[in-house]
Structure 1
Amino acid sequence: MTKEELMKFEEFILDSFSNDIMNRELRLSLEEKEYLEKMYSRVIIEEMDEYKSGEKKEWYKVSFPSL
């Protein structure tokens, strides 16, 4: 990702998990998924096989467990 894309993605993630929301279904590219796993060690990302499309982005259940 470019620096600009990375900033937009970070903003998207912060917005997606604001207001104490800890679970979301998100459509992510492999690069975005790997970035989340690298940057947030506690993140849980599960593929949603029922929505498998074979496209550039896939659907995932993304969770940040409470401490």
Structure 2
Amino acid sequence: MESYIYSMKRLNGGSDRYGNCERCGKQVDSTYLLKKMKVYTNHAGVELATYYLDLFGHRDCLAKATRP
């Protein structure tokens, strides 16, 4: 089973700087950045995370992207 780690942070700007929400396509007053990292186990059995995806948009839209 694949697993992921998410982090979200508020950016300084809205649609004028970062474009519209990548989830709903609407304008954003306060843009958030969601980072998605994939968790895996290497050959030595150590659990690691690697970059997988970035999304820009509304906080609520991005939060929905973290649900299965």
TM-score (normalizing by structure 1): 0.25
By percentage of residues, which structure has more strand?
Answer: 2
Q: Which has the higher helix share?
A: 1
TM-score (norm 2): 0.24
Structure whose alpha-carbon radius of gyration is higher:
2
